[in-house]
Structure 1
Amino acid sequence: MIELEGLTKRYGEKTAVNNLTFSVRPGIVTGFLGPNGAGKSTTMRMMLGLDNPSAGTVRIDGKHYAQLRNPLKYIGALLDAKAMHGGRSAYNHLLCLAQSNGIARSRVDEVLDTVGLTAVAKKKAKGFSLGMGQRLGIAGALLGDPKILMFDEPVNGLDPEGIHWIRNLMKSLASAGRTVFVSSHLMSEMALTADHLVVIGQGRLLADTSMADFIRENSRSYVRLRSPERERLLDVLHEAGITVVEAGNGTLEVDGHSSEELGELAGRHQLVLHELSPQQASLEEAFMQLTAESVEYHAHSEATAAPQWDTSQWDTNRKGA
């Protein structure tokens, strides 16, 4: 388990992480979300003792990271896939990590096989593609067979097969009772992988809840209906005291009532329905709704961001030409 209590990090007048308190529990995949500049990377670095907090504490299975002997046996992490000596082979990179943490040499071959790099084990890491480097970083995280794993953007550079593999790997690690903490900007992948979400914005905790509850609490859910007997359907709904939103193209939207309830109502009145579908926002939509006021960096389209040039001098020059 990872436990944060009042974790704070300041850089001069800038507060990157502000009084974060949450726990990352074993047995589930916990997703860590936030806009750019929210403090995710700083938080993960403090978890691993790479940055010292200005206030608060982080405990890994009840201990501070600096108190862990052979830390790779407790917690494995992928924060930067490029954090390796490019002149070393994949095998020797992992062997150095193993020897510094009291891990058996045989474990190097095991994790190389797990991540699919056995065939290139003797090749220098500097010649690896982004995806291969990512797999090597994941191998390093798995090396000590730790109970806790942290991944920052684990699918970066991976092909579709690799993305499917890492998704299933994280799920299997969690199902085996391990603690899995993953940060990613790919909402579609997070929606398929994470069971629980921790969301921060401008260094503050915004949400600490299950995936299902997060989407339900931060988005609109409704039922969409279509019928060839649209006017009669409207009458039936109004008579039942149900508020309807007309969405165009003959489509009706109803909040606060289940599809089962609406289907039974239509059935009692022998109404034909061409569509009866519950609609739920995606994780991305719910995330955008919650973090709208916490986004630090706003992009603009080129049309709106284009500079307005003063052409009066050009006209003068053209007249004199």
Structure 2
Amino acid sequence: MIELEDLTKRYGDKLAVDGLSFTVRPGTVTGFLGPNGAGKSTTMRMVLGLDAPTRGDVRIEGKHYGELQEPLHSIGALLEAKGVHGGRRAYDHLLCMAQSNGIPERRVGEVLEMVGLHDVARKRPKGFSLGMGQRLGIAAALLGDPRILMFDEPVNGLDPEGIHWIRTLMQQLAREGRTVFVSSHLMSEMAQTAEHLVVIGQGRLLADTSMSQFIAENSRTHVRVRTPEPERMLDVLVEAGLRPATAADGALEVDGSEAPRIGELAAANQVVLHELSTQRASLEEAFMRLTAQSVEYHAYAPGDVQAAVPGGPPGPPAGTAAPPQGGQAPPGGQAPPAWGENWRKGRRG
């Protein structure tokens, strides 16, 4: 179990983490989400004692990280896969860690086999690909067979087989009763892996809830109805007290009801249906909606004047027009250079 209480970190004038309080419990995979700059990595560093909190407290199984006698038996972590000595062989890197925590040497071979690096155990990590470096970092996290696992972007650089493997591994560790805390920007992957979510924005807690509840509370769920008799079906739904909307393709979208009830209404009125489906938002859509006002770094494509996310942050500040498409001049103004023109001029010069 990891417990955070009023955890705060300030770097000069920058408030990176602002009064975070939540608990990461055993037996489930807890996803840790937030936009870039939200404070996720800083929070994880404070859990491991790599950064000292400005205020508040964080404990691992009731103790500060510095109080753990052999910490790799309690918590294993992957924060920076390339944080290894590039000239030391992979086997020796893990062996040094094992010897510092009273872990038998045979465990080194076990974890290298587990992560698929047995054949390169005697090679130096400076020649490893990003994915191989990730696997070595995961092996280090597993070395002490810890009760708590913490991963920051564990699928970064992994191929599809590797992504499936680490997802299955995290879920298996949680089923064994371990605490699994994982941060990732890949929403589709997180949706398949995590059961519980902790979401932060600009250092503050935005949500601490189950995956299903998070999506339900931060997105729109509706029933889509497609029929060759849309006008008749519309009348049926209105008479039942519902307020359907018509989609661009002519289908009806119904909020505030469930598919079985709408199907029963159609059957009772002998209306033929070609489609009756419940439309649920993805984790990505729910996340974008919740964190729209907490995004610190906004990017705009050429010609954009407003963010694309409904209900999202505003476009560029007033008086800061985005570059028009094709370099066309705004009314009464001078045409700006076409996209990339300044770079091309530099190349020609």
- How far is 1:71 from its partner? 0.4
CA distance in 2, matches of 1:235, 1:226: 14
- How far is 1:239 from its partner? 1.2
Q: Give the letter aligned to residue 190 of structure 2.
A: M
CA distance in 2, matches of 1:158, 1:246: 43
Aligned counterparts, 1:247-286, within 5 A: 247-286=247-286
CA distance in 2, matches of 1:311, 1:3: 56
Aligned counterparts, 1:127-166, within 5 A: 127-166=127-166
What is residue 299 of structure 1 aligned with on the other side?
299
Gaps in structure 2 of 5+ consecutive residues: 305-321, 337-349
Q: Give the letter aligned to residue 190 of structure 1.
A: M
Q: Cα deviations across residues 220-245 of structure 1 (Å, max 9, x unaligned)?
A: 10000010111111111111111111
Aligned counterparts, 1:160-175, within 5 A: 160-175=160-175
What is residue 3 of structure 1 aligned with on the other side?
3
What is residue 89 of structure 1 aligned with on the other side?
89
Secondary structure of the equivalent of 1:134? helix
Aligned counterparts, 1:222-261, within 5 A: 222-261=222-261
CA distance in 1, matches of 2:241, 2:159: 51
CA distance in 1, matches of 2:292, 2:77: 30
- How far is 1:13 from its partner? 1.6
- How far is 1:68 from its partner? 0.3
CA distance in 2, matches of 1:86, 1:11: 30
Q: Cα deviations across residues 86-120 of structure 1 (Å, max 9, x unaligned)?
A: 00111001001001111110100000000000011
What is residue 316 of structure 1 aligned with on the other side?
none
Q: Cα deviations across residues 227-268 of structure 1 (Å, max 9, x unaligned)?
A: 011111111111111111111222000001000110111111
- Aligned Cα RMSD in Å? 1.4
CA distance in 1, matches of 2:212, 2:241: 29
CA distance in 2, matches of 1:204, 1:11: 15
After TM superposition, the structure 1 stretch with the greater mean CA deviation from structure 2, 175-184 or 241-250, is 241-250
- How far is 1:271 from its partner? 1.1
Secondary structure of the equivalent of 2:247? strand
Aligned counterparts, 1:171-250, within 5 A: 171-250=171-250
CA distance in 1, matches of 2:156, 2:249: 41
- How far is 1:306 from its partner? 3.8
What is residue 67 of structure 1 aligned with on the other side?
67
Output the TM-score relative to the length of structure 1: 0.95
- How far is 1:303 from its partner? 3.7
Q: Cα deviations across residues 7-37 of structure 1 (Å, max 9, x unaligned)?
A: 0001112110000000000000000000000
CA distance in 2, matches of 1:186, 1:276: 30
Output the TM-score relative to the length of structure 2: 0.88
CA distance in 2, matches of 1:74, 1:135: 20
After TM superposition, the structure 1 stretch with the greater mean CA deviation from structure 2, 28-37 or 296-305, is 296-305
Q: Give the letter aligned to residue 206 of structure 1.
A: L
Q: 1:169 to 1:311 in 2, by over 3 A?
A: closer
- How far is 1:311 from its partner? 7.2
Q: Cα deviations across residues 132-175 of structure 1 (Å, max 9, x unaligned)?
A: 00000000000000000000000000000000000000000000
Between structures 1 and 2, the one with greater helix share: 1
CA distance in 2, matches of 1:80, 1:197: 22
CA distance in 2, matches of 1:207, 1:15: 19
CA distance in 2, matches of 1:249, 1:82: 50
CA distance in 1, matches of 2:108, 2:248: 60
CA distance in 2, matches of 1:277, 1:298: 35
What is residue 319 of structure 2 aligned with on the other side?
none
What is residue 49 of structure 1 aligned with on the other side?
49
Q: Which runs of 4+ in 1 moved over 4 A?
A: 307-312
- How far is 1:302 from its partner? 2.9
> More relative contact order in 1 or in 2 (CA 8 Å, sep 6+)?
1
Q: Cα deviations across residues 64-95 of structure 1 (Å, max 9, x unaligned)?
A: 00000110110000000000000011100100
State how many pairs are aligned: 312
Q: Give the letter aligned to residue 57 of structure 1.
A: D
Secondary structure of the equivalent of 2:150? strand
CA distance in 2, matches of 1:161, 1:97: 27
Gaps in structure 1 of 5+ consecutive residues: 313-321
What is residue 17 of structure 2 aligned with on the other side?
17
